[in-house]
Amino acid sequence: MIRFSVKSGAAAKQRCACVIVGVFEGRKLSAAAADVNAAAAGRITSVLRRGDLSGKLGKTLLLHAVDGTFTDRVLLVGCGRERDLSDGKYRRIVAAAIGALRETGAADAACYLADLQLKGRDLAWKVRQIVEVTHDTLYRFDRLKSKKADEDHLRALTINLPSRRDLRTGEQAIRIGEAVAHGARLTRDLGNLPPNVCTPAHLATEARALARRYRSLRVGVLDRARMERLGMGALLAVARGSHQPPQLITIEYRGGEGRPVALIGKGITFDSGGISIKPAANMDEMKFDMCGAAAVIGTLAAVAELKLPLNVVGVVPAAENLPGGNASKPADIVTTLSGQTVEILNTDAEGRLILCDAMTYAERTFAPRIMIDIATLTGACVIALGSHATGLFSNHEPLARALLAAGEAAGDRAWQLPLWDDYQQQLDSNFADMANVGGREGGSITAACFLSRFARKLHWAHLDIAGTAWRSGKQKGATGRPVALLVQYLLDLGAG
């Protein structure tokens, strides 16, 4: 694992394997690059005049044996046009620097990217982003490969700050960034595991392991028999086709006074669609259908590491959705824990069924002041927002605004979609209180409308992470989102 630290000092005087400095388009040097350039008798400007680096965003150039400095290497990172620098571009700059550094033999480096001026962002934000982006860039998942990738040489990264007065701020930012990164890593690891390993029982095992690591966490698990006695007809209906028994996992964190914030994470460890089976193409990606559950577990890990001054409870309904002789069928009617009945018109709309019982259980058991569910719920949300923003729905506008602001601050953005009563009628059923689907039109909205019927007495928000929880294609894998958003929201709530 890489070790982070902060210090204050001139770039040209750093004794380390590599110094990282920024260069803007138009051959404009950052303050740190100018310092190195002056010590090196204009070597950087000479390189730029030759056209070896234009300053284009994300481009890098590694210089060796730079006279006048004490470092083995100087890594120049293109920052684009200075006036166009934004949050997203800043993260791309950091990712490019760490990616290039990874290809060298440098064991340690001094990073001078926190001195870049970014409108509306303070030093703590930039330090935290360096930590989180570094972890994200260096992440790999090869635990199930017979031949492991070579270990990264980079072991330590020192983030330079403008003044010694900033050291305490920088240290606290590193602490937060590390906690978020560790939570996101746990989330990614769980999401990337294959479904024959990451079963509902495995999620319960991971939760118990977390409780052994952090004394502030307490874990409970309900088995099928207990859920049957309670009357969780919707959750159990989803699990009927699988030989893997369902689990309802609770993770309680007590760090303060008052009613908790409840995080409910969808834990479908594999989603075939059930009787309404999915097409074969890309069905392997349905192992990621438990990324909401993974995000809840990762968030609770970060909360415990940061020792936040509030109470949080995670509730994870976990099951497999498979076809089988005992599987639920289209037209089945089930009774939820709340007593409301649901006609199952499509067995591939199973996430809302396990969530609704988990939401009712959380409300009755923990009396939360706020409830947020996190779910890879609808393909319709992917069509609406792509892979850039999480879909956000809420019955409480201040909660929605707080989550949106947290997403902007954390670089883990969400976008609010309507939750109007006009959409509710699409869920009408001739035979039950409601149907579990409302047609193709506004599919992500009607899914949220369904869940809203189980949160009428609560300040509630729904995060549809179907587009943001994992990447497809060559870079296939879990992203760890929306851990950063959730931790930032809880940080803001705890500070308030």
Which residue among 185, 352, 413, 453 is the active-site one?
A: 352
Q: Which amino acid is at 488?
A: Q
Which residue among 81, 121, 278, 369 is the active-site one?
A: 278
Helix (H) or strand (E) holding 221: strand 217-222
Task: Provide the sign of the torsion angle of the four alpha carbons 367, 397, 463, 412, taken in this order.
Answer: negative
Residue 88: CA atoms inside 13 Å, Cβ hemisphere, count? 7
Place of tokens 């409302």: 438
Is the Cβ–Cβ distance between 51 and 44 less than 8 Å?
Answer: no
Is the bond into 482 cis (omega within 30 degrees of 0)?
Answer: yes
The yes-or-no answer on residue 352 being catalytic is yes
CA 379 to each of CA 112, 146, 192, 287, 349: distance values in angstroms, whole numbers, following the listed order:
41, 34, 20, 15, 10
Q: CA Rg, the chain, in Å?
A: 24
Residue 491: CA atoms inside 13 Å, Cβ hemisphere, count? 22
Tell me the C-alpha distance between 216 and 187, whole Å: 19
Residue 337: CA atoms inside 13 Å, Cβ hemisphere, count? 23
How many other C-beta atoms can be found within 10 angstroms of the C-beta atom of residue 256? 12
**CA angle 191-87-56, nearest 5°?**
105
**3-state SS track over 279-305:** CCCCHHHHHHHHHHHHHHHHHHHHHHH
Give the pair of three-digit tokens for residue 33. Answer: 């690059």
Helix (H) or strand (E) holding 159: strand 156-160
Cross-strand bridge partners of residue 76: 21, 61
The catalytic residues are 278, 352
